[in-house]
């Protein structure tokens, strides 16, 4: 089969996975074809719903539509496969007559070596169950991070399409879910972006109250119901309370202009940062730090989503900047060529982070940079605008 035919045949599945992975898949098909091996792509993106449907076969779904008994075909629930996030694809060897060759260990091992030579992770190297048709590119992200909503730059799969909140997960999606549950009266404890026992208990209570499957894991249906109820709450009219008798108030001798609230600049979920309470920290209802609602213990770490000149906006209110310190985060970039490095250093000097960039040795080296608070936001936005790959360093 001609190379252009193989590539065209694969395009529908490759178009739904991460662009970088799709390019490597095309390279793999071309390399294999050069050695006389024709490859077809049998699986690209498999959604959470599709994964759960596969998991149900032989378990909760025992028979197909024609009455045939189904066998268990996978051990992975939705969100437990890199396929679910567009970061994996499977191949098969095509014979000259068009049939698929699943049995040639020698061929699949050779294809595995070709894939590894261009930077792909190969399922044949898996320690538990070997999966020789499988290739993936994780960008250094774990499945737990992906289920929590984290995505590599350029991802084709949004958090909404494949988001799961479960015990032990961390990240922006967890913070958002906790804030929503708290707003609806389900106690998660501190909104800190970490799904602990209290968060799981709140999810279970919410699921039970809304007729959902009670498993303590907030998947597509639970998150959708949360969003629906939060939206309905926001749109609900405020009841007007009319007193039985209104006494006429004396005319004021002077009308004072209402003091305007400080302007709040939103960071959104993507660029939220974390801060740590230096002292017992009061949370206020308004941006002018008035009307205290609660006090957080010293040492509490929590996410913030916006800021004024003197306060951070947090779920449920505002805290004074002087009471907290931003948590430093180290970012690791992909390879930087000399031109990219010069561009990056110029920008860092502009925002006052001269000398913060540390490069590894080698050709186009990766780099690390540590920043916190609004400096971290600026660095992330710069990298995103450039379209450069980066991740949080461990």
pLDDT in tens, 320-374: 999 999 999 999 998 888 888 888 999 999 888 888 899 887 777 888 999 999 9
pTM above 0.85, yes or no: no
Whether 188 and 69 map to the same domain: the answer is no
**What number of other Cβ atoms are within 10 A of residue 84's Cβ?**
27
Question: pLDDT value at position 87?
Answer: 95
| pLDDT top residue among 76 and 276 | 276
Q: Is 160 inside any structural domain?
A: no
Whether 70 and 124 share a structural domain: yes
Q: Is residue 377's pLDDT more than 70?
A: yes
Q: How many CB atoms lie within 10 A of CB 74?
A: 15
Q: Residue 249: pLDDT above 60?
A: no
Distance CA 177, CA 181 (A): 6
Question: How crowded is residue 199: how many other Cβ atoms within 10 Å of its Cβ?
Answer: 29
Decide if pLDDT at 46 tops 50: yes
Quick: pLDDT tens for 47-101: 777 787 788 888 877 887 778 888 887 777 777 889 989 999 999 999 999 999 9
**Would the pLDDT of 247 be above 70?**
no
Q: Is the pLDDT of residue 269 over 80?
A: no
Which of 280, 308, 326 marks a domain boundary?
Answer: 326
- Residue 295 domain flag: yes
Q: What is the 3-state secondary structure (H, E, C) of 187-253?
A: CCCCCCCECCHHHHHHHHHHHHHCCCCCCCCECHHHHHHHHHHHHHHHHCCCCCCCCCCCCCCCCCC
**Which of 159, 9, 10, 139 minimizes the C-alpha distance to 84?**
159
Q: Residue 277: give its domain's CATH number.
A: 2.30.30.40
Q: What is the pLDDT of residue 209?
A: 92
Helices (H), strands (E): how many in the chain?
Answer: 10, 18
**Domain's final residue, options 111, 142, 173:** 142
Say if residue 321 is in the same domain as residue 333: no
Task: Look at residue 233 in the predicted model and tell me its pLDDT.
Answer: 76
Q: Is residue 11 part of a domain?
A: yes
Residue 114 in this model has a pLDDT that exceeds 50: yes
Residue 255, pLDDT score: 44
Question: Cα separations (Å) of 345 from 116, 334, 361?
Answer: 33, 15, 17
Q: Do residues 21 and 129 share a domain?
A: yes
Helix axes of 197-209 and 220-235: crossing angle, nearest 10 degrees: 70
Q: 349 is in which domain, residue-wise?
A: 329-392
Q: Are residues 11 and 123 in the same domain?
A: yes
Please indicate, yes or no, whether residues 224 and 108 belong to a single structural domain of this protein.
no
**Are 145 and 164 contacting, i.e. CB atoms less than 8 angstroms apart?**
no
pLDDT band for 40, please (50, 70, 90 cuts).
very high
Residue that is last in its domain, among 273, 304, 326: 326
Structural domain includes residue 260: no
- CATH number, position 100: 3.30.1380.10
Query: Residues 334, 203: one domain?
Result: no
Is 241 contained in some domain?
no
In a domain, 147, yes or no: no
Among 57-66, 207-216, 245-254, 300-309, the minimum mean pLDDT is found in 245-254
Mark whether 64 and 134 lie in a shared domain.
Answer: yes
69 with 133, same domain: the answer is yes
Domain count along the chain = 4
My answer on whether 67 and 176 are in the same domain is no
- pLDDT (average), residues 225-249: 64
Residues 138 and 16 in one domain: yes
102 is written with which tokens?
């699943």
Percent of the chain with pLDDT over 90: 39
* Residue 320 confidence (pLDDT): 93
């Amino acid at each position: 089969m001609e190379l252009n035919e193989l590539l065209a045949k694969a395009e529908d599945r490759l178009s739904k996975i991460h662009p970088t992975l799709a390019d490597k898949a095309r390279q793999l098909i071309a390399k294999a074809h050069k050695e006389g091996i024709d490859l077809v792509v049998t699986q690209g993106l498999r959604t959470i719903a599709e994964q759960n449907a596969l998991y149900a076969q032989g378990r909760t779904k025992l028979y197909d539509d024609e009455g045939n008994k189904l066998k268990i075909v996978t051990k992975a629930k939705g969100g437990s496969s890199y396929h679910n996030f567009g970061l994996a694809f499977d191949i098969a060897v095509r014979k000259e007559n068009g049939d698929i060759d699943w049995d040639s260990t020698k061929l699949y091992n050779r294809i595995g070596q070709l894939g590894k030579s261009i930077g792909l992770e190969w399922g044949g190297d898996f320690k538990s169950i070997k999966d020789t048709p499988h290739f993936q590119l994780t960008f250094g992200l774990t499945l737990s991070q992906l289920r929590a909503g984290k995505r590599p730059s350029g991802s084709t799969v949004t958090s909404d399409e494949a988001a799961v909140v479960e015990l032990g997960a961390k990240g922006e999606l967890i913070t958002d879910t906790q804030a929503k549950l708290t707003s609806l009266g389900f106690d998660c404890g501190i909104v800190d972006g970490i799904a602990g026992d209290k968060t799981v208990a709140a999810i279970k209570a919410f699921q039970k109250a809304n007729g959902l499957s009670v498993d303590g894991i907030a998947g597509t249906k639970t998150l959708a119901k949360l969003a629906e109820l939060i939206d309905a709450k926001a749109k609900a009219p405020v009841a007007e309370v009319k007193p039985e008798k209104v006494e006429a108030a004396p005319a004021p001798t002077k009308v004072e202009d209402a003091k305007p609230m400080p302007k709040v600049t939103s960071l959104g979920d993507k660029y939220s940062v974390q801060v740590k309470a230096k002292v017992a920290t009061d949370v206020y209802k308004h941006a002018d730090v008035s009307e205290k609602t609660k006090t957080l213990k010293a040492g509490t770490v929590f996410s913030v989503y916006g800021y004024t000149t003197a306060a951070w906006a947090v779920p449920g209110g505002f805290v004074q900047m002087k009471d907290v310190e931003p948590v430093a985060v180290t970012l690791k970039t992909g390879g930087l060529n000399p031109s990219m490095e010069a561009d990056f250093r110029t920008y860092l000097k502009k925002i006052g982070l001269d000398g913060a960039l540390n490069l590894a040795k080698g050709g186009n080296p990766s780099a690390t940079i540590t920043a916190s608070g609004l400096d971290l936001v600026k660095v992330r936005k710069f990298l995103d605008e450039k379209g450069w790959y980066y991740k949080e360093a461990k």
